Amino acid sequence: MKKIAVIGSINVDMVVKSNRRPMSGETIFGEDFSIHPGGKGANQAVAIARLGGDVKMLGCVGDDLYGQEMIKNLRGNGVDADHVKRMEGVTTGIASINVAENDNSIIVVKGANNFVDRAYIDSVINEIIEVDFVLLQYEIPMDTVEYVIEICREKQIKVIVNPAPYQTTRPDMIERIDFIIPNEHEASKMFDNTGDIDHILKKHPGKMIVTLGHNGAAYNDGNSIVYIPAMDDVAVVDTTGAGDTFVGAFTKRLADGGDKKTAIMFAQVASGLSIEKFGAQEGMPSMAEVMERQSTGFLGSGGV
- Residues acting as catalytic residues: 244
Instruction: Specify whether the CB–CB gap between 41 and 7 falls below 8 A.
Output: yes
Residue 295 and residue 219: Cα distance in Å, rounded? 23
Instruction: Specify whether the CB–CB gap between 204 and 174 falls below 8 A.
Output: yes
**3-state secondary structure (DSSP) of residue 287:** helix
Report the first-to-last Cα separation within the chain, whole angstroms: 29
Residue 69 and residue 52: Cα distance in Å, rounded? 22
Residue 268 and residue 255: Cα distance in Å, rounded? 17
Half-sphere exposure of 130 (CA within 13 A, CB side): 7
DSSP summary character for residue 78: T
All residues at 6 or more sequence positions from 9 whose CB lies less than 8 Å from its CB, including other chains: 39, 40, 41, 42, 59, 93, 108, 110, 113, 116, 137, 139, 140
DSSP summary character for residue 32: E
